[in-house]
Structure 1
């Protein structure tokens, strides 16, 4: 079957998909695209291993996605596996989407070895919504205490939002050090409240590039650890059983924006504060298998494709190996530049996902970012709150992208001694 699309800017169109053919008989400024596809899932072919997109996207999020995932989503977009409907049109209660969400959950459970006594929820609202949902679900009243370790901007936002729904205790903050390090958890263990309902951390701080390499042990009587894993979710193996609750926005490592994943131990469900909005009550979503209302269907579908891709690559141990290789190569270039490039983060807690750095001559940073973009390396500008340069090298960033960035860095340094 074939379907015709109309593109208004054909001069900027680059055909990355061998399934696409173009007609030369079309008028100027309009190009006719014939998409030839089969309703059989088996007919969707994977792209060659060579990276064929015009740019390497180093954005912190929404971030780059695997080429194979994008091409498969493209091929299934118009007619999802012979249903006669786009994947964006199928009912969230129909058999097509039922298979999508169940397969996505099953593959995620396999990737992270999620225990049977945990629920996996596909929600909306981003991780920021969970800053409210967590205390509302885990604290029985606004007077209940909760502990927070703050290692960056997102942890700080979670701490401040929680003050509306519980009594947060700041166990430790890296703000005085500009969020460039994480103190030894043993040094502030005594500051934890034994009556706290949970201990909250942000596993990886996207803005500042600080990542927990081992997780603190909660001293509360329930030994309950909660983590925002938005920017390093599925980047390495994690012992889910050591957490009471994990939450993560999808748009860094596992899909488009609009999906938030919550993994929560089942015994924590059902005790939400009476004022909890229905859409923030984990038990309601768990009982409805994430289908209490219309979920972000297309986003969940793409997440499912990403989970399958991660399994095909060998699982999260192999993904961690690749991420460590990429990060090691980039940090090595920074540290080996004789101070031309500087990463402010203490080496022992440097993120594998987000690499911030500055140039010794700060007036060159804008030029660096502009020239890199011209060479096909985009979204390298640091967060507006800290400036500098930031390269986010999530799972889907190929080694070739990091290699190209490092080569550019060396050339730029040579041209600006």
Structure 2
């Protein structure tokens, strides 16, 4: 069977060794039952959660004055939980750099006044907004560090006098993040950590206060405990993925590989007579690379052309169209070189009528 390379933006590709390990353990995990049948209150499962947090702290250098919460609801639920839990003055600052930050802004408006401190909407989010020179009298400043749909990212952070909150769903563990620069980080797990169903929140403990909120929506109810039955399978696989990351050399090695993979693809796009990247300059994403031929029909013809050659999920997000390759940690270098080869093949043959009607 031909090798299939999955370029999905999420749920994303997982390391093959982890999938094989999960397969081998699925029917019986230590206690003679499947991991999906095991009580989340059992000692065996408790060890999985402890190891997951320990590995995450080690990989990201998370200090003890930060709590790690294992939640559900994806990053989308955090669009509401962040303003609910960090609300003091009821004024929140946001950098509007893409579709996900736009959604976060819309949800935050339910809980206070949102100040858009910078926006790249006028460029159709082809760039990222500059940091505000001064930001004060707000409860926090929110930024989406990597824009999964638009393919842009922030690489430098200014000093701020207010807590910095970041959505790191698509770049967590893919590049180094200085946790201590932030008050709170959150991420859906389904890109670089594990299956869908798990959400990570890393929050400075002094920002956790008791709030008059429904229990699940209060960060304080999740500190150092599992409030309710979590996505047990997602937690288990995430622990195995983090073990794989450690074995492979940690976040530093993941970042090195991702830089190499993305440079190969960007270089191919920049020299292609047919394809081109939608983002240029220093703010190109390491993990999500949108590109196009400039013609919707040709884009779709290439997507189908690539799929017949084992390259799947290359379609752009439904809101923008085009093409997109997501190069998460588990995407091997061979997948990128295969994509480039197929692009060259399409450039040479794909304009023939037989391929326009794929």
TM range (shorter): over 0.9
Following TM superposition, by how much is the alpha carbon of 1:356 offset from its aligned partner in structure 2, in angstroms?
A: 0.2
Picking from 62, 78, 81, the partner of 1:133 is 81
Shift of 1:362: 3.7
Work out which structure has the larger RCO, using CA pairs closer than 8 Å and 6 or more positions apart in sequence. 2
CA distance in 2, matches of 1:113, 1:135: 26
Partner SS state of residue 71, structure 1: helix
1:74 and 2:23 are equivalent in the alignment:
yes
Match of 2:341 among 403, 407, 413: 407
Distance in 2, Cα, partners of 1:392 & 1:310: 18
* Aligned counterpart, 1:33: none
Counterpart check, 1:311 vs 2:254: no
| Mapped partners of 1:364, 1:144: distance in 2 | 48
Q: CA 1:258 to 1:290, structure 2 compared with 1: closer, same or farther past 3 Å?
A: farther
* Residue 4 of structure 1: aligned partner: none
Tell me the TM-score normalized by structure 1: 0.82
Which structure has the larger Rg over C-alpha atoms? Answer: 1
Q: 1:214 aligns with which of 147, 156, 161?
A: 156
Question: Runs in 1 of length 4+ with deviation above 4 angstroms?
Answer: none
Decide whether the 8 Å contact of 2:189 with 2:197 is kept in 1: yes
SS of 1:348's equivalent in the other structure is coil
- The alpha-carbon distance between structure 1 residues 271 and 166, as it changes in their structure 2 partners (threshold 3 A), is farther
| Shift, 1:416, TM fit | 4.6
| Cα distance in 2 for residues equivalent to 1:90 and 1:255 | 19
Query: Is structure 2 residue 288 aligned with structure 1 residue 354?
Result: yes
Matched-pair contact (CA < 8 Å) for 1:217–1:225: no
How far off is 1:325 after superposition?
Answer: 0.4
TM-score between both structures, scaled by the size of structure 2: 0.95
What residue ranges of structure 2 are gaps of 5+ in the alignment?
352-358
Residues 16-40 of structure 1: CA deviation (Å, up to 9, x unaligned): xxxxxxxxxxxxxxxxxxxxxxxxx
Q: Is 1:260 aligned to 2:260, yes or no?
A: no
- Equivalent residues in 2 for 1:27-106 (5 A)? 54-81=3-30, 83-106=31-54
Contact 2:92-2:141 within 8 A present in 1 as well: yes
Using the TM superposition, give the Cα deviation of residue 411 of structure 1 relative to its aligned residue in structure 2, in angstroms: 1.3
Correspondence for 1:112 among 55, 60, 63: 60
Secondary structure in 1 matching 2:103: helix
Q: What secondary structure does 2:23 align onto?
A: helix
Deviations 1:347-403 (Å, cap 9, x if unpaired)? 211111110001044431111000100000000011111111000111110100000
**Paired positions, count:** 351
**CA distance in structure 1 between the partners assigned to 2:349 and 2:283 by the alignment:** 31
Residues in 1 aligned to 2:295 and 2:185: alpha-carbon distance in whole angstroms: 40
In structure 1, stretches of 5+ residues that fail to align are: 1-13, 15-52
Q: Is residue 238 of structure 2 the alignment partner of residue 322 of structure 1?
A: no
> What RMSD in Å do the two structures reach over aligned CA positions?
1.3
Query: SS of 2:185's equivalent?
Result: strand
Residues of 2 paired with 1:405 and 1:290: CA distance? Answer: 44
CA contact (8 A) 1:123 1:290 kept: no
Cα distance in 2, alignment partners of residues 383 and 105 from structure 1: 32
Q: 1:282 aligns with which of 219, 223, 245?
A: 219
User: 1:147, 1:168 within 8 Å by CA — same for their partners in 2?
Assistant: yes
CA shift for structure 1 position 237: 1.5
- Residue 102 of structure 2 corresponds to 156
